Every structure is written in structure tokens, then in C-alpha cells.
Structure 1
Amino acid sequence: MSSPERFAASSPYVAFDHLATMVALVHADGTCLFVNSAFENVLGLSRRSMLRGSLFDWMVEPATLRDVVGAVLRNEFSISRFEAQLRRPPGSSGDPLPVHVIVTQTDEPDLALVELVEIEQQTRQDREERALDQAQATKELIRNLAHEIKNPLGGIRGAAQLLQMEVESRGLSEYAQVIINEADRLQALVDRLLAPHRKPHVVGDVNIHEVCERVRALILAEFPKGLAVVRDYDTSIPEFRGDREQLIQAVLNIAHNAAQALHERIQAGDACIRLKTRIARQVTVGKQRYRLALELHILDNGPGIPESIRDRIFYPLVSGREGGSGLGLTLAQTFVQQHHGTIECESVPGNTDFKILIPLP
């Protein structure tokens, strides 16, 4: 084993293997003293083969990185950032990968630290952070608003009941009953808004495929004709600790929305929902990195989510369906976040994909 490889295997730099971003320690000529496992995973190459070459060779335009590394090592500045493109390995069909490059000084004068952040990864992390902040703000808003509604609502209903007992006119009694019925409807809505915050988190061993099978049975029971619910499972996924009923409800809410959006294809007999499970490796959720995560996709071949609400589908009371409550996806997001996970959605006509990501032990 060469001295750089021995150094890479035994040095404290292996701590960089715990990062989700690509990291390399680089000499002025581009040769690497160390590359982390994220770099290996992205390029699909072994660390040993990467240490034999120059980091500059992996850039579409190597001159920029070469100049910046040289300037940092000459102490012209301590850190520099720029956008670049990382080449894929020879024989790969993938396009160059857009990256944000950060070059930093180290304590060793002949080494620069080069960090490459996938632009798509950074965008996803920013989106996840916004979603978490929005979900927390929504939770507080819902809780406060619901309590403010409940108190006068009880008074309105009680007054309507008293009025109904006092009036002799049948017409006025019917009006009073309308008030009572609407108050009950609003009370039910408030209870649904508060439900996920009231219900205790019951933790146990969860098999995600038992969750999917339960959802599949419920959907097919409601839509027995014209709809196929296809299984696409990775059966090697291990059990994990979680709230089984919450996860069933989260997946069911998404799948049920999909089935309702498929009504035209159900009539045509070619509607399809696919439940797909996979293992994701080295993922970052909520600024924390996990070695493994469950990736559950709920896909459908429906018309897609209207573009006008696509960025707001997880907000409460936002619905793309007439008569919808707009709470199903909000509750699904809440339940998944209680498992330290996230939900993302990509939708175009003919293909809508809800991806649930939950860290595994």
C-alpha cells in the first residue's frame, strides 16, 4: 500500500467519511491525500483509484479549481467558493454533476480542503429546512386557532339549542337546527386539526411492508374495479421503531388522494398506484446524516397536482379536489416528521411521486 493510502486509512481525516458532502485533501498539483466515502459513492470509484489521479481531472473546467487551490495554498485568501461541474466516470451515461465548490486552507501549508456540495442536494436540504420550519409554524397556528374557535363554538351551539327549545315556529326551529349542525361540523374540523397533536406516539417494531399491505387492502376495498395497486418492494428492508398506526394513516392519506385523483382512469380501467420501497444510503434529513434510510414512493398515473397549489400541498386546508378538507397531506407530513422523516413530491401529468424518507437504525 502506498504511503498516501496508508495515511488515508489511519489518519483522523476519516472523520470526513461521516459527511454527506464530497471532501478531498488536495496538493497544489491536484493529487489527493484523502477523499471521503461520499466522493466514492458519487463517482462510483474506489478510494484507492481516486488517490492515484488528480482531482482536477474530474472537473469539466479544471483551470478554475487549479487556480483557486493554488491561490489558497499561497495564502492569497483563506476560503473561496464557486460553481462547477464534476465529470462522471468514463463509460457512465450520466451528465456532469453541478456542484458548489468550497476551497479552504488547512493547518498543513501544502494541503487544501476541497468540499463539493451537489447543487440538487443543497436545494433539497434548503427545501427540507423550509418544510420543517413551515410545519412547526403551522402546528402552532393550528393549535392556537383551534382553541380560539372551540370556545365561542360551544357557546353558539348551546345558544342555538336553547333557541330551538323556545321557538314555536317550525321554520325558526329548522334554522336553529342548521346552526347546530354547522357548529358540529366545525367542531369535527377542529378535532381533526388537533388530532395529531393529541394522540400519543405509540412506538413499536414496524415492518413497512405490513403498512403498505394494509393500505393496499383498504384502497382496493374502496376502489375494487379499474384500479391496480402494484407492489414494488425491497424485502431486505429491516424493521424499525415507529408508530405503525400513524404510518398507515400517513401512507393511506396519500394513496387515497391518488385514488380520488384517478377517477377518470378508474372509469377507463387503467388506473395504477405503485407502492415502491427502497433503501437509501448516506442521506441527510433535517441537517443530520444517516447511514441508511427507508425510501417509500407512492406513485400514480393520474393527471398530476395543479401547478397553482403544487408548492402548498402540505399546507392545511389546501386541496386540489372540490369538497376536499385539505388536511390529509398535512396530517401525513406531521406523522412522518414525528418519525424524523420528510415527504417530498414531484408531479407531472401521468406521473405523481410522493417520496417518504425515514431514517433507519
Structure 2
Amino acid sequence: MNPWPATDFTRRLGLRLPVVQGPFGGGLSSVELTAAVSEAGGLGSFGAHHLDAAAIRDTAAAIRQRTGRPFALNLWIPHEQSDAPPLDDQGFDGYLATLAPYFQELGVALPTRPARFMPPYQEQVEALLAVRPAVFSFVFGIPAPEILQRCRELEITTVGAATTVDEACALEQAGVDMVVATGFEAGGHRVSFLRRAEDSLTGTFALIPQVADAVHCPVIAAGGIADGRGVAAALTLGAAAAQIGTAFLACRESNASALHRERLFSPDARHTGLTRAFSGRLARSIRNRLMEEVKQSAPYPIQNWLTARLRPAATEQGRADLMSLWAGQAAPLLRHRDAATLLAALQQETLAALGRFGR
């Protein structure tokens, strides 16, 4: 008998655990971690927004070689002209000039403007629909009605992210199946799309019950959840599942660098902040030199593409001061370094916390 509480989330997807592994962007997701979480009864996720169509197809095939359980693929909806930002060589050189000293410091040649900064979104969507994951999750907006209709026809569950009650209502009204309500404690990007991210900074404990009261679809809580106490709190507040990011990012199975994982377990993880320095969009990272020095950035995806050119050299040289270190405010709670141990602890801690309240 499964001791976990059954919810609308677990029943719809046929899962044992009301736990979602956060879909990490920028190459931090891994096939190994996605499959491990799904095999254990949760929903493994893979952030695919940086992949072209062929890579999305290959990734889905690789996940299916490791698990027959449901998993999610995640894309970013084009937002604020991000799919094809208007930019000429002069504008590119101006943005590059801000970061040029860091390229020089790391010994990296200055890049030239690429034909595109990201793969075409429409090609990504077509590839995702072709591989038919159990879940299509997305951030920074709502897919077009025809895409949502095709997902319904293909029996792909759609999951959209909201940082405000208004965004959650907009997602439900558009026909999205489930809503991830993400508080500002979360690591990585603030995925606001109706108002500026800086104007959408509601905390998890305030956001979850408001969203649960406002929509009828299952709500997935995210932000500041790193152990079973957080999962129990999310369920108690009206969520049908909890999405956990930083704790899974810290696992050996993720594609985070050893340098990044070390910082997640260090005293530095107590000090995070919101910045646009790394990608051009507001995101939470462990504070470091680049974050403090770069006060103005290019818009996404230009800034994201530029700092990505720095990341390999910074990682190789052990320069955590010059790379993004995505982390949520719950990072000081991290204790586990592999997915199996983390999931076992989540089960024990969640049931213990719920038991204290007679649930």
C-alpha cells in the first residue's frame, strides 16, 4: 500500500509521489536525474529550452531507454521578443563591451554575433509534440490555443508556471491542465509574464493558498521547498504536489558542475539574491562577484548567450565568482547528494510532518 496521500496530481498522471523534479534550464538537466525521479514514482523533468528539435527527440529517446514512467519536457514560451530579438552588430558590440573584461580575465576570445541566440521555438514545439511526453511544462507565458488543443488530442498533460494569482487564472482560463505556483524563494528564473518580474514577488506561503482558492485545476507548489516539511506544508496549503528544484540540482545525477554543487552545500548558499546579470531576466543565484559588478545587462537571450560563453572557462578554472550559481532560499537545508536518498528522505519526512497533524 502506498503511504503517500493520493492527490489530483498523482491520480491524473498515475504517479506514486506528489513530487515534481524542477526542470533546470541551460544544460543543467540530465537524462539520468529525470529518469531516476520518474522511476522512483515522482515526475522527472528535463529543461529543453536550449535544445534544437533534433536534440529534443534524442533526449526523449534517451529518457525512455531508462524509464517507462511518465516524465515532463519543459520549454520557455517566447516572451518580450526573445525568439528573435532585434539586434544589429553595433548593438551586439555594445552589450559585449560590458562583459569584455571578464572574457579577457578568463582568457576567452570575444565572440561574434550569432545568426540566432536560441533554437526556433516553433521547431521545438513540433519536436516535443512528436515525441509525446506525458507532460509538457512551460514557463514565461501560455502556448497558443492550437498547441494546447494538439496536446489534448495527443493526451499530453500541460503544466504552466505562475508567479501571481492573475497568471494562474490566465493559465486555467486558457485550458492549461495544471498550474505551478512558484514563490519568489525559488532558485533560477522568475517566470512572470503578465507583469514585470520585480513586481511579481509573492512568497510561497502567501501564493499557494491564494492560487488554490482561485483555480479549480491541480496546483503544484514551488519555491523554498527542499525537504519533507516543505512538501507537507505545500499539501496542507492546498497544493496537489510540490516541485523541488535546488535539492535535486545538488544531486550527483544533475548536470550541474561539481563547482556549482559544492557551493550549494557551502555557507555561501545562505546568501542568494535576484539579478539580471547572468541571463538578462530576473533570477535567483548565490551572490558572487559577477552578480555584484554587472548592474545593467542585455535583454534575454542576448545576455544569457554571452555569459554562456564565459561559463566553460570559469568552471574549468574554478572561478565560481564569474558564473551563475542558481540556488533557492532553502539551499541551507540541503543534506542529500543523490536522488534516491533525497526521495527516500522526502517520503519519511513528509509522512512524519503530516502525521503530526493527524493527516
Pairwise TM-score range, normalised by the shorter structure: under 0.3
Normalized against structure 2, the TM-score is what? 0.23
Higher share in strand:
1
Q: Which has the higher contact order (CA 8 A, sep 6+)?
A: 2
Normalized against structure 1, the TM-score is what? 0.23
Q: Which has the larger radius of gyration?
A: 1
Higher share in helix:
1
